[in-house]
Structure 1
């Protein structure tokens, strides 16, 4: 149903619409997050219908720590390379927006739209303090992003991440769940197209969140999270891998380098060349 040929000439708005359809298709959208154009092209070649970036992977691949330490102009250049290298929709991990004020945030969103980005993740914790921002402030930010897209006469899939499970690890599970539901509902009312309760892991928690929030739910694949087939049966709309693909790739390269350094074999590298 969805293939790169059918959207080869699609506009940014059409790709944003397609990204939204993918979240409502009944088939779970699986997004192994990447960090460069080569990875994006590989995912498209394998048949993935959309591309997602991971902020931590992009930052660390270029010598920065996660948490908006990579300059936004540099990030924009990397993302531009990615969007130009594939035909499928691209959604970008924007962390908290790379902006200390609303005017900068509006500018950042306009610039992302201009290079063809179809969607973004935006989180609700402060990248410096790691504390949750007040819910009213986050709702205002989400509404601002929606207005920017409207004024640009375009669409942008807005995936609102809530960091309740990340920022409040010591709270009882039922309290974390209640906070995540409160924030998820508020963000959906503010115009978010999807909700991403990062680190929500238990099957019962995922099911409750999905039923309570009423917009597509995004789950992070990690140890302790149900397998993909279980998440599909639950009705989860989207599964992300965050920086895990980048970490796995580095581990694989590390093992190859050990083999070469220890003089055992060059086959782990050269044996795969074609």
Structure 2
């Protein structure tokens, strides 16, 4: 990677065409996605954990996350952004320590969520608390003289499945606070209703990132209403696993007539 990765990555969030990220989970998937023409590489925490036999939710150790990201970073030549969930930290000291280790690697961006990972009630950090956590990350980056694109993720739309204009406005309030704290983008996974996404985009002070999932409108429609980043999350992993299983089934379970001939 070169020193302009951050600038290039940030620029990709301010074009007419949205940045499309087909998320990876290891070196092989990252290289395949880059060779397919992706302008940036993004990891999926869910996919990375599943690939190693763990559940999502910071069950994969932070040490192994660092190792996996370091391997991916060495094998891609486009900007790399990584999903770090809640930073594997419950206080700002541990968050700062973890980010200092992470920022030693060749990455230009992170996804950072406001859900308290593995909390039984899917509790979110208070807006002011999460804002302070974002400031801590920015302070670490400044200390290391490194620019990092912070894609602040709010899990409001996963915590509350009854989506409404009021919930969107609550998310917008968080977005303004996160932007003031130093976030560069806002990620709103779970929201799929076109009118609500459009309302969010119109009100957001930051480039908006959505996640492809059941019920999501088309990429063309997302571009039309001003979404700047479209992530596929674990969809790419599910698709790869499905294709692998189907190919294996074809080989391991040949048609009956083939067995009769042999």
| Fold in common (TM above 0.5) | yes
Q: What root-mean-square deviation, in Å, do the aligned CA atoms of Structure 1 and Structure 2 show? A: 1.4
The corresponding residue for 2:27 is: 37
CA contact (8 A) 2:39 2:79 kept: yes
Q: Does 1:144 align with 2:152?
A: no
Provide TM-score, normalisation by structure 2.
0.93
Q: Which runs of 5+ in 1 are unaligned?
A: 1-8, 266-274
The alpha carbon displacement at 1:256 in A equals 2.0
The alpha carbon displacement at 1:90 in A equals 0.5
Residues 42-98 of structure 1 show CA distances to partners (whole Å, capped at 9, x for unaligned) of 111111110000000000000110000000010111001111101111000010111
CA contact (8 A) 1:93 1:121 kept: yes
Instruction: Provide runs of 4+ in structure 1 moved above 6 Å.
Output: none
CA contact (8 A) 1:51 1:91 kept: yes
Q: Does 1:251 align with 2:206?
A: no
**Equivalent of residue 166 in structure 1, options 158, 170, 174:** 158
- SS state at 1:114 partner: coil
Instruction: Give the alignment of 1:116-135 within 5 angstroms.
Output: 116-129=106-119, 130-135=122-127
Provide TM-score, normalisation by structure 1.
0.89
Q: Does 1:157 align with 2:165?
A: no
State the alpha-carbon separation in 2 of the partners of residues 141 and 70 from structure 1.
22
Q: How many residues of Structure 1 are paired with residues of Structure 2 in the alignment?
A: 254
CA contact (8 A) 1:188 1:213 kept: no
Q: Does 1:63 align with 2:53?
A: yes
| The 10-residue stretch of structure 1 (118-127 or 183-192) with the greater mean CA deviation from structure 2 | 183-192
State the alpha-carbon separation in 2 of the partners of residues 77 and 23 from structure 1.
28
Q: Which runs of 5+ in 2 are unaligned?
A: 257-262
CA contact (8 A) 2:163 2:191 kept: no
State the alpha-carbon separation in 2 of the partners of residues 63 and 172 from structure 1.
33
**Equivalent of residue 73 in structure 2, options 83, 92, 101:** 83
The alpha carbon displacement at 1:212 in A equals 0.9
- SS state at 1:128 partner: coil
The corresponding residue for 2:2 is: 10
Q: Does 1:96 align with 2:86?
A: yes
